Structure 1
């Protein structure tokens, strides 16, 4: 057993309202304390330096997902069949089904649809002038494109969006948000199960293909439902978060918007920078299957639960120059906002297409953005997002 007198220890509460509202100073404190820091409040280890996070995400044999990615046993049991809670070779086989829908070949026919929707969205914002960056902007492409791609029945779409927003809370430690998230997650699972059992998915979409694979015996009913649930939560919440954050970041950094207007080809790197500096999914948990030595020599003992922090790694000054600055043409291209290794975000290609299309379209018509009211954060154990963000178009 590790002697805690020999390792960095912290009593920081990463899940308090104060820290969730602005976590980056706490991340810095933990990074500066060591490659791995024992959080005594939660009996977990925090990994926050870029080098160590990237290594942990690659080394699934040591930092395993198959005991769940949450910080409580209830969610880890409930999500047992979700793709993010599987290791290779099971994960590899199941992910092939996702890649058939979200790989480059499959997404290519969607390009014109996404571009057209992005141009229409940009024009609508110009016409509105005053808008909410979440409801009026960020919801448009993820809902319109992803809902069709998956093939959810029209009548369940509004409910799925609302339920997806709070479900990540269930992966946190035992607190009020976690308990609320479990109730939300249960409601979402019941809705998905109803669609599955009554075969109501729209023909040709990802959901109908998963359901058909289940009926043919390639996967179980529970696996199909679990995979659909995992995709819902990730696909909506993360892209919506990045979209809304883009308005906030460009309003606060008008020179960066002017860079994009002068060179629309920077839209791709702008999307990456948004995901770096405001990582939509801040942290996931892993189970340490064997003693793991970090880059500074700290050893995490086998059997430990760890927090692997994408958001902390993406602000690490050991990896990024001026990590707290939003720079759309920064030289350091690699970041972990979409994850890394076997569990790298399966939907990142689609997310990048949506973000790039929107920025390209808006750069042609919009001179800038202003935040016109108090931003409201949607405090969440895992994700970082706005609930509302009043804004104004500068024509």
Structure 2
């Protein structure tokens, strides 16, 4: 039996497909629906993010009816609902709505609607192989990128063929720009390195820019204020914050400054002392730890003029003939007094080649006066650490806090 107000039968269909939040527009509405049909319609029009054809919607509705349609009256009521649904069509808007750029709210009925609009727009502009992605949060942001007082949209995208990440600017005046996603730029053609991104004021103070960043580097992107042919705008980009080495080139354990420390050394001749992992000879000199020990081995550096924030470090292994001496499991630790704090952990670092350099981003950077590489396993299969050797170590850092600074 059909209930007096069974629109709940239709709503699960909508909810089962996607969120219901895009307005439908009546192309033609019956002015005098029968009582049975009116009883089947909602008191106020629902909103839909996508609407299937009326025939599909009715097929799903029939399948979800609690009672079979087994009387002429019920069959007539169903047919009237189907006729009523057939009078509605849905048209997606093809322009953005000009709104206050300072308001953090969707341009359409929802953020999902904005994302769907962006997907259609991106593929129309750049081809079906470019799609909206969400490699890092947020996926979509808003700003006035051309300084016209209207709110524009920027969204993460990916070029699917080569799996290259990027961002697309979609402006209220229908102009656009693409950064990355296979397009060459000073930042490269792939923004896969990006950990986070944010909308910030332009360096001129007129409109908005985007800063893309990791803990150790940041880049800024600003659009040209005048569009070019076809409505495409130029993206001006540059690295504005990059990590640099925080340890000077050492000529001894405490010269020219700071202090290199270690748990031990392979012999007492000085040929493999720890400071040689920080000297200028990255491929000819090295630190070799104490040997045949069941304890972890470590090498570190301490500043004499205050703490540093290290956001990235690198290790270079130079002894290809004895690859078993390369570090396998290790931690980067920081110390300001008291207990050592683990900032980054790596395991199963195997298959080192001679002179190979491996770079690591620090997972939990902080400001510490002393750092050490704490190695708990080498690449030798024996139970103890036979020896660990490293040709060069860098400890790099910068205050890449997301501001990005002005373009040069």
Between structure 1 and structure 2, the one with the greater Rg is 2
- From the two aligned structures, give the one with the greater strand fraction: 2
TM-score (norm 1): 0.20
